[in-house]
Each structure stands twice: as C-alpha cells, then as structure tokens.
C-alpha cells in the first residue's frame, strides 16, 4: 500500500516552474530517497508535502485520502513530520524542553519539569537513540541536535518522516549513526523520505530512489538495481566522473610554513598543540581528520581569525602571525572558510557585492571611496559565466536565495578570481551537489597546474584523498601523521584519523 | 554601622524604580524586543499618577491610571514596533520624546505650571510599618518603613523569576527571543507573546513611575525619571537578562544613587556628586565588558 501518492504535482513561482507534473509513490515502511542536484526542486516538493507551500496544481494522497495542508501543524496531525536542514531548536533549552515545545505538561501554571523529562527520556529510550534528555542543546553535537529533531517528530507520533539533506551538517561518523537510526526506524514500521544528493548514503540506506531534475520526474528505481554511476547520470543528465584524474605535481618552493603553533579557544582550552606543516608551489596539501580534532582551529589560525599562543606562520619568508584576513588577502592568500554563511558570505547582500566582498576597496571596484557599480556588475557577470554559477540571472538578488552549491561557488569564484598564490579551503564542498563538487574539484586542480599552492581541510576523507598530493592527519589538536597520497591508502589514513600510530618518524620536510 | 544601615535603607528606596523598570524590561529583552521606551513609560506613569491623585484625591485610582497610561504606551510601542515591524529603537525613542514634550505641555497649558507641579492636594503613598519585620534587628533597619513599591519590586523579582523559568508563558517568551523559527515551527503565537512581554514591562514601568512621583516625593517635575529607564536597560544587559542578575545590577545602581544623596551633605560641589551614579554605571559597564572580552582568542567580531 502506498503511504504517500503524489499525482501530477506542479508548483509555479510566477513564470518559473519549480516542480513540473511530478508523480511519486512512497510505500509504507520503506526508506525512499529523493535525489537531484541542488535547485532540482527536491525541497519544494517536500515542502508541499509538509504544508509549507501550496501546490499550483495536482493532488496529494496520504493513506489513500486526498489532503490539502494549510500548515505544518496539519501535516503533523496527519502523521507527517519533517526534519529541516537548519534545525529549529532553542540552544539554551534542554533536549526535553525542545522536544515538548508547545506541548508542555503543566500543573496549574507550573511546568512539570521532572515529568516532562521522564516522558521524553522514555521516547528516546524506546527508539534507542543516543541522547540525554537533560542536556542543553548548546552543549551537544550537531549530530545529537539532529537526533533531537527526529525525536521531536516521533514524540508527536508521526509515521512518515521527511529529512531534508540530513547529512549536510554531519561528520562521517555521525552520518553513519544517522543512517543506522533511520534503518532501525524503518524496521519498526516508519516510512522515511530522505532528500539527498550523497550517493553513498543513498546506496547504504534507501529501498527505492526517485530522481528529479529541473523540477521534472526522471524515474523511480530500486536501489539494488542501480549503481552510483547510474544514479549520478540520472541526476545530472550526463556521465559524471566520480574519480578525478590529475597528473603528478612539480613541487616548487615552500609557500607557507607553520612552525610549532599552539593556540587556545575562546573558552580557554588548548586546541592546537605544536602543529607544524608546510605547502609548496604546485602542490595540494590535504588536512584530514575526524571533525572536531582541531582542523577548524587550524583554519582559523592560518586565516588570521585565531590568535596564536606560540609558534610562527611564515608565508613567503614573512611572518603572518598577526595579520588579519584582510591583510592576508592583500598578500595574495585566498581564503574559503568552513562555514560559508558565517564567514564566507553575507547572505543578505547581493550576489554581485558578495563576489567582491573582502576585495571591495580595491581600486578596480572602488574609486575614492565610491563603488564602481558598472565594473562590479561586469565582474559578477564574468565570474558567473566562468564558474558556471546557476540561477544568477539577476546579480542584485540576495546571496541567501541561492542553493548551497551555488553559494559555495560564489565564495570559490571570488577567492580564485583574485589570483592568489596560496588558496586555503576549509570544507570546500560541504552541502554541495555532485555536479558542483566535480566542478570545484576541477577548479582546484586547474589552480595547482598554474604552480600555485593549495591547502584543503576536509572531513570527507575521499575528498582529501582525491585532491591532495600530500596529507596531514590531525588528531586531538595535533598533527599525528604525514603521508604522500601516492604511498598511502584510505585505510591507513583512516587508522591515523582514529589516533592510532605505531610511533614512527614523520615523512621528511 | 548606623551610617551603613541608613545607606542600605535608602539603596532599596533608590533601587525600586530602576528594578521595577528593569525586571519589566527583562521580558521584552528575553522576547527579543529591545524596549528603549522604558524611560517614557516610567515618566508617563509618574505624570499620570500625580495628575490623577491631584484631580481625584484617590491614591488607588492614581496608581491604576499610572499603570494604564504606561500600558497604553506599551500598546503603542507594540503596534508600531511589532505588528507594523517598525524599527523598535526609533519607535522607543519617539515615545520617550513624545512623553517628555507632552507632559511639559499639559503641565503648562492645563495647569499653568512650568517645570514643577506641586500641590498639597496630591496624595502620595506612605511608608509601611510591617509587624514582625519591625522586630527583626538589622533587617528592620534596612527593609522596614519602606514605601509600598519597594516591596512590590521585591515581589516582582520573585514573580518574574517564576514566570520566566517555570511557566509556559516564560518558556515561550524565551523561545521567541532566542530562536523565532523554533517558535513558528511549533505554532506559537510569536507576535502575541512579544506584545505580552512589552506590556508586562510597561505595567511595571507604570509602578516605577508611581514610586518616583508619589512615594519619594509628592510632585511632578519635568523629566523627573532622569534616565532611570536607560539605567534599567543597562541593568538588564549587565545582568544578562535574568531577573536575579538584573536586580543585582539595579541594586548596584541604586546604591550609587543612595551614596550620592548621602554625600550631598558634604562640602563637595553638587554637580560633581550628582555625577557619581553615572560614573559608577560607566565603571560597572566597563568592568562587565572587560570580563566578557577577556580570554577571547579569536580576532575581530564574536564568532559564536
């Protein structure tokens, strides 16, 4: 029996057809993956199922009954719950308070905190989730926060759970845990729809896969009948190279050298211990490690956002210990920060302004303090074409209106277009779709061809392995190992990431 | 020792208006609405209280009218700042300016007074001599024989703490202020909650105005709140939006005020003495600022 049936569903925003006559059947008790590139209309489709957007035409049936949701509340009432990509949790409240938000248990005026906690912990334990109801949201990991969102829906007795890009914010370990949880939920009879473009995850957990492209239904297939290549082809509409080819690098002089850097976080704990590393011209150096082992702090230290306690960072024979990100950009270092919306972009500023942000006062764009709008618009148009940034016909629109992949392309286009000597990228393809990942990777390799230096920090091991010539592995704030990519394997790096070494000396300078 | 008790007694007296406005302001603050109109709300409360007391001779009606007038301003602030989504700072400042001008205008046009309105027909609130309390040593010197609003300010502290941390209303207000999308996603009435928060604030501001005009003195003086609404804001921020923290900072500021009054008998130029509370506030805020910045290792603006 079909839990959800969507017939000829269409959504138009003005002249733009976001969803064009889509048919979808989701069976009870299956994990159904909705795959498509960014901007294909996956989220629009799900938002219609969840009552956030009203369809222009077409029908939605839940358990054989036609429904017209006006709000998420009605959807939840009908047993449909959604976990959004950006969590809707209150950081200073506890897990149980967040889960029961709006449905508190009261006696008179007073909230029965102990009873609330017990009720919620019962649900958590019932589904065997790794959560403590009394923890505050601000103290738990992103993965745990997502589990809170899932429990929040389960506690409201939903049978159908929609997850929008659930792994976009998770570390590989957390992702595995999530997939295990989803499979367990499916086995207990829940229906799960997962929106994603990460094919390895789809292969791991889905029963059936529906692919949409440019708002159109491409097909629904059984997971066991297809391989990753085939799904990618359905999504993108052409053959996609999942493996990158790159020629050997010709190493030049040292561009950046970090010597024994130590640093503390704002909360006063040491986060970098004696980290030393270097990168040469014409070389891509990868920093691998399980998320939370100091890579973010290393990125902040290298990009001038974290003060060093001791040690030195030398760039082209000059110390850059006390330089701001702005000064570093002036010294021809391109910076692609980890969180594009926090440090990479101003999401309420226009696309074209974001394409010059950080370089906006340069003579080319700003003459006597006056922004040269014509030049800026021209520059934007040029980059959008060169970097194949989509949905950017109007460059005065807010950057926040772009999908993750396109927003990331904006950051990368901006930093690369200023022709730096060294490019430092942190999580360059997080939350980015396959087509864009392929493109960004090619750009990085093309950049190396020009004898430039690149540092790539990524928690995606496969990304580090594909791109880098040399890899440093970080563990608990230290560099625990250094390997030449050609002489190592995913397994060996994986072991290092877990903090296991046999105490051997590091590979030479 | 006696000197200290006298200063502490007068500290509670000087704290009351600041604490009332500040504890009231905590609600709007926690709901994510910056209410800079606390000043105007207090002033209108003081003015209305005095006028109604003079006209009716009933202190009860005067207090009710003071609260009502302040809440009307709260409503006005909410309509422009919340429903119509105007800039809350401009809305708040506009309210302060209007109150300042309007009270002076009414005073002059209808009562023929300039700057000060004082009349024997104005009935004020007298200090209370509380049984039991009067027999406890030390405590009676500090807390007995205070005016009603001093006790109300202590009651407000306890109630505010309870409401904010132990009731649905408080939980929802905190949710709205901290993560509005979370409130929307579970269908909480966001705007209604903001209205309630602002109105609780203006209710207490009205009482603060009564304290200033009908307890400590029984008259109205133009701009007689002299920035206490803004001092209350400083107390809220320094106290990080918790009722207890806010009260502690209100108390500190009240202490500076009490000290100032005490020192007026000394042979130091009056203008300098009157600076003490404000210098004290600058000092306190500087210390609070330094403590929060110290130990930060990331450069530039706050990241997290």
Query: Given CB atoms, is A106 within the 8 Å cutoff of chain B?
Result: yes
Q: Do B171 and A101 touch (CB under 8 A)?
A: yes
Chain A residues close to B298, C-beta within 8 Å: 266, 300, 305-307
3-class secondary-structure state, position A19: strand
Those residues with Cβ within 8 angstroms of residue B217's Cβ, 6 or more apart along the chain or in another chain: B124
Nearest CA among B237, B234, B196 for reference residue B27? B196
Nearest CA in chain A to B30: A92
Among A264, A206, A163, residue whose Cα is nearest residue A32: A206
Q: Among B182, B184, B190, B192, which would you mutate to test the A interface (most chain A Cβ atoms within 10 Å of its Cβ)?
A: B182
Chain A residues with CB under 8 Å of B174 CB are: 90, 92-93
B265 interface with A at CB cutoff 8 Å:
no
- B175 Cβ under 8 Å from any chain A Cβ: yes
Instruction: Find the closest chain B residue to A152 by CA distance.
Output: B186
The answer to whether the CB atoms of A268 and B295 lie below 8 A apart is yes
Of B167, B174, B182, the CB nearest to A88: B182
Task: Give dist(CA A484, CA A15) in Å, integer.
Answer: 52
**Residues A258, A272 contacting (CB under 8 angstroms):** no
| Residues of chain B found within 8 Å of residue A95, distances taken between Cβ atoms | none
pLDDT at B83 over 60: yes
pLDDT at A244: 72
Report the distance separating Cα A305 and Cα A300, nearest Å: 5
> B299 vs A324: CB contact, 8 Å cut-off?
yes
Q: Tokens in use for A109?
A: 């005026």
Number of A/B CB contacts below 8 angstroms equals: 78
Percent of chain A with pLDDT over 90: 57
Cβ(A319)–Cβ(A261) under 8 Å? no
| Whether pLDDT at A506 is above 50 | no
Structure tokens given for B149:
């609003």
Is residue A436 within 8 A of residue A410, CB to CB? The reply is no
* Residues A217, A36: Cα–Cα separation, whole Å: 10
The β-bridge partners of A470 are A285, A484
The percentage of chain B sitting over the pLDDT mark of 70, rounded to a whole number, equals 97
pLDDT in tens, B3-17: 889 999 999 999 999
Residues of chain A with Cβ-Cβ distance to B185 below 8 Å are 72, 84, 88
Q: Per-residue pLDDT for A366 more than 80?
A: yes
Please give the average per-residue pLDDT across A346-353, as a whole number: 91
Minimal Cβ distance to B297: which of A72, A73, A266: A266
CB contact under 8 A, A88 and B168: no
More confidently predicted of B4 and A267:
B4
Considering only residues B267 and A331, tell me which one the structure prediction assigns the higher pLDDT: A331
| pLDDT value for B90 | 96
Chain A contact present for B296, CB below 8 A: yes
The CA distance from B254 to B16, in Å, is 8
Is the pLDDT at B96 greater than 80, yes or no? yes
Q: What is the per-residue pLDDT for B303?
A: 40
Residue of B nearest to A84 (CA): B185
E strand segments, chain B = 116-118, 219-221
Whether residue A61 is predicted with pLDDT greater than 90 in this model: the reply is yes
Q: Is residue B301 scored above 60 in pLDDT?
A: no
B178 contacts in A (CB within 8 Å)?
90-93
**Among partner residues A90, A265, A324, which is closest to B175 by beta-carbon distance?**
A90
Q: What pairing do the DSSP bridges indicate for beta strands A31-35 and A191-196?
A: parallel
User: Does the pLDDT of residue A89 top 70, yes or no?
Assistant: yes
Top pLDDT among A416 and A491 is at: A416
Mean pLDDT to the nearest integer, B221-235: 93
**Domains of chain A with CATH codes:** 2-236 (3.40.50.300), 254-347+421-506 (3.40.50.300)
Q: What is the mean pLDDT of residues A66-82?
A: 89
pLDDT tens for B168-212 read: 999 999 999 999 999 988 889 999 999 999 999 999 999 999 999
Tell me the average pLDDT of chain B.
Answer: 91
Query: Which carries the bigger pLDDT value, residue B111 or residue B99?
Result: B99
Nearest CA in chain B to A89: B182
Q: Cβ(A195)–Cβ(A46) under 8 Å?
A: yes
B297, A307: Cβ pair inside 8 Å?
Answer: yes
For the whole model, what pTM was predicted?
0.78
pLDDT class of A480 with cuts at 50, 70, 90: very high
Contact at CB, B174 and A93, closer than 8 angstroms = yes
List the beta strands (DSSP E) in A63-109: 65-66, 80-83, 106-107
Q: What is the pLDDT of residue A444?
A: 93
pLDDT band at A482 (very low <50, low <70, confident <90, very high): very high
Compute CA A68 distance to the chain's CA centroid, rounded to the nearest angstrom: 32
Q: By the 8 A CB rule, do B103 and B44 touch?
A: yes
Nearest by CB to A265, which of B166, B184, B297? B297
What is the distance between the alpha carbons of residues B254 and B216, in angstroms, rounded to a whole number? 14
Distance CA A476, CA A497 (A): 10
Tell whether B97 lies on the interface with A, counting CB pairs under 8 A. Answer: no
CB-CB neighbors (< 8 A) of A264 in chain B: 297
Helix (H, G, I), strand (E, B) or coil at A58: strand
A250 CA to chain B: closest CA distance, Å?
36
Q: Given an 8 Å threshold on Cβ–Cβ distance, is B179 in contact with A89? A: yes
Q: Does B293 touch chain A (CB under 8 A)?
A: no
Rounded Cα distance between B61 and B123, Å, is 11
ipTM over 0.90: no
Confidence of residue A508 (pLDDT cuts 50, 70, 90): very low
C-alpha distance from B168 to closest chain A C-alpha (Å): 7
Q: Is B31 on the interface with A (CB under 8 A)?
A: no
Judged by a CB distance cut-off of 8 A, whether residue A189 touches chain B is no
């Amino acid at each position: 029996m079909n839990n959800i049936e969507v017939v000829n569903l269409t959504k138009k925003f003005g002249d733009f057809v976001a969803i064009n006559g889509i048919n979808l059947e989701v069976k009870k008790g299956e994990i159904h993956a909705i795959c498509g590139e960014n901007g294909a209309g996956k989220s629009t489709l799900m938002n219609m199922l969840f009552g956030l957007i009203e369809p222009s035409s077409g029908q939605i049936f839940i358990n054989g009954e036609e429904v017209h949701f006006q709000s998420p509340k009605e959807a939840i009432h009908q047993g449909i719950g959604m976990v959004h990509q950006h969590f809707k949790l209150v950081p200073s409240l506890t897990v149980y308070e967040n889960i029961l938000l709006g449905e508190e248990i009261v006696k008179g005026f007073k909230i029965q905190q102990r009873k609330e906690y017990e009720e919620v912990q019962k649900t958590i334990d019932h589904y065997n989730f790794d959560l403590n109801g009394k923890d505050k949201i601000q103290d738990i990991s992103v993965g745990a926060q997502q589990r809170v969102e899932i429990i929040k829906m389960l506690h409201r007795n939903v049978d159908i759970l929609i997850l929008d890009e659930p792994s976009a914010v998770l570390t590989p370990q957390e992702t595995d845990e999530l997939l295990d949880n989803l499979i367990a939920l499916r086995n207990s009879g829940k229906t799960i729809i997962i929106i994603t473009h990460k094919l390895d995850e789809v292969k791991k957990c889905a029963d059936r896969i529906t692919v949409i492209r440019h708002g159109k239904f491409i097909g629904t297939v059984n997971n066991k009948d297809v391989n990753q290549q085939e799904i990618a082809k359905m999504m993108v509409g052409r053959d996609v190279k999942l493996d990158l080819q790159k020629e050997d690098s010709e190493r030049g002089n040292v561009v950046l050298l970090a010597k024994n850097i130590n640093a503390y976080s704002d909360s006063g704990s040491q986060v970098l211990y004696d980290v030393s590393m270097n990168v040469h011209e014409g070389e891509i150096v990868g920093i691998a490690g399980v998320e939370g082992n100091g890579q973010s702090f290393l990125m902040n230290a290298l990009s001038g956002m974290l003060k060093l306690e001791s040690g030195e960072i030398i760039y082209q024979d000059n110390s850059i210990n006390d330089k701001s990100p702005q000064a570093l950009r002036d010294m021809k270092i391109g910076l692609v920060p980890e969180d594009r919306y926090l440090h990479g972009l101003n999401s309420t500023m226009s696309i074209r302004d974001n394409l010059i942000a950080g370089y906006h006062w340069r003579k080319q764009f700003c003459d006597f303090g006056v922004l040269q709008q014509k030049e800026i618009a021209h520059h934007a148009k040029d980059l959008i074409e060169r970097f194949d940034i989509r949905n950017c016909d109007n460059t005065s629109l807010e950057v926040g209106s772009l999908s993750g992949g396109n927003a990331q392309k904006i950051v990368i286009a901006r930093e690369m277009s200023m022709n730096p000597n060294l490019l430092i990228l942190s999580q360059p393809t997080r939350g980015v779709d396959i087509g864009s990942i392929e493109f960004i990777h090619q750009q990085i390799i093309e950049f190396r061809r020009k004898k430039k230096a690149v540092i790539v920090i990524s928690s995606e091991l496969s990304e580090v392995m594909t791109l880098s010539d040399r890899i440093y592995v970080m563990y608990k704030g230290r560099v625990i190992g250094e390997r030449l990519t050609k002489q190592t394997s995913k397994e060996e790096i994986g072991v290092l990431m877990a903090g296991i070494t046999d105490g051997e000396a590091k590979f030479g300078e | 020792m006696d000197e200290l008790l006298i200063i502490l007694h007068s500290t509670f007296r000087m704290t009351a208006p600041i604490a009332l406005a500040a504890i009231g302001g905590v609600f709007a603050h926690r709901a994510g609405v910056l209410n800079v109109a606390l000043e105007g709300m207090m002033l209108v409360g003081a003015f209305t209280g005095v006028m109604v007391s003079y006209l009716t001779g009933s202190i009860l009606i005067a207090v009710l009218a003071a609260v009502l007038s302040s809440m009307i301003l709260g409503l006005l602030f909410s309509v422009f700042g919340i429903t119509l989504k105007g800039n809350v700072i401009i809305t708040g400042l506009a309210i302060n300016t209007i109150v300042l001008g309007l009270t002076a205008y009414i005073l002059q046009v209808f009562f023929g007074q300039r700057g000060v309105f004082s009349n024997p027909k104005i009935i004020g609130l007298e200090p209370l001599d509380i049984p039991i309390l009067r027999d406890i040593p030390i405590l009676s010197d500090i807390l007995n024989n205070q005016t009603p609003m001093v006790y109300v300010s202590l009651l407000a502290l306890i109630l505010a703490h309870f409401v904010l941390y132990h009731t649905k209303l408080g939980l929802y207000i905190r949710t709205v202020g901290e993560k509005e999308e979370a409130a929307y996603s579970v269908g909480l009435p966001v705007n209604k909650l903001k209205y309630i928060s602002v109105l609780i604030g203006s209710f207490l501001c009205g009482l603060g105005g009564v304290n200033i005009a009908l307890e400590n003195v029984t008259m109205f003086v133009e701009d007689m709140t002299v920035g206490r609404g803004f001092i209350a804001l400083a107390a809220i921020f320094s106290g990080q939006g918790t009722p207890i923290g806010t009260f502690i900072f209100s108390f500190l500021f009240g202490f500076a005020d009490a000290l100032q009054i005490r020192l007026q008998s000394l042979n130091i130029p009056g203008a300098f003495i009157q600076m003490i509370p404000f210098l004290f506030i600058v000092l306190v805020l500087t210390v609070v600022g330094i403590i929060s910045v110290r130990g930060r290792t990331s450069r530039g603006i706050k990241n997290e």
